[in-house]
Structure 1
């Protein structure tokens, strides 16, 4: 009988120990789960027009640090992944772009309001020239202006570039010169800014950023993300054998694809050199 009582007591002690252990470990697991969820933070807010105070729909919001984008809804509201000190870039056609840093209070209270200001455009004089067309295709075609110095044209969405007219200097030769010459512009942009250049792939993968760049021609977002000025950007494209006509007429998405393609070639040649 005493032996039976000892077994019962021992069983109860073991049961209590298991229950206590489960109670100790469960909160830790829950805490770990909460930590994972808490590690992803979002900045929320509302964008309005400074002149009308009306909410603005389809405003592009880009986190320049994490290279991700989103757009505002009909109420002008947005939500984007962000951390303290990240910079958000707001842009909308006809309005001045705006940049702002994310603060701890913003992430905590989520009640930030952003106002965008309309741009004032001065219309320039447009001169219309007559081509004196005859109506006969065979004759009029001879007077169509052509660009004999046209170089490579890149169409976004297609894997290849296209050349028109006389080609410029060999692209690979230009990039090889950059690899072997530290003073070269491509080396200064590609070699000394690896962090900024790594953003190229992120930009190409984010659909919101690609949609934004496809509608822009001012190079503003590109130069901001890559931390280069507009002149440097154009000089890099020239070094990569893109024509001035392409540089002047391509949208920002085509320019992104061109820079990205040139950078990938630069990395391959650099690895071969090493």
Structure 2
């Protein structure tokens, strides 16, 4: 006959197993001698992610034995497995080690001897001169691409330009380029180049962390980023946005991309 005590023990074990198998949100904190903001925290098991705030704090859902990966440019990659203690306390403290990139010593140019007269005699060429040296204003903004320069030179036709007929000052370039379709072609070219440049920036910056929690074959990854860039909202959601906002966009496109792959296989 089963005793009441045994039933209670079994019930407690079952309840405990149910609790630890459920997903809970834990509060985490990252400690480091370097900056602790914008560190990527990836739950590899659940395939979810978040980013630390300026204090190194974050919140993420986990279950027992989930693997959390901490990644940033200035720190060494670290993986932590969620323990019973983390589940009980609903908290985790992670110390990251700074990533130090040591470069081999490289000697550029001539070696100085310490003798001023000899060193001056060994100097070749004249020092470069910029607009600060001669006291004239200079352009310090973003350098335009070739397509952007061509679009600027082509101009854009506006109906009010036709008023120039009355004054004899019609700008021919914008009108001719508008009629021929050249302005539209140049606009499309600038848009494509802008998208491609942004796509390559996102890929270089976030692909490692993104694919750590969203697996995809190596030969499909470039195709995935082109798929993202084809989205009409790609620039809106990725230009001048935080890593977290971009990762959310990539996650939504990843779901669409994998669904397309599965439908093609079927």
In the superposition, the TM-score normalised over structure 2's length comes to 0.44
In the superposition, the TM-score normalised over structure 1's length comes to 0.43
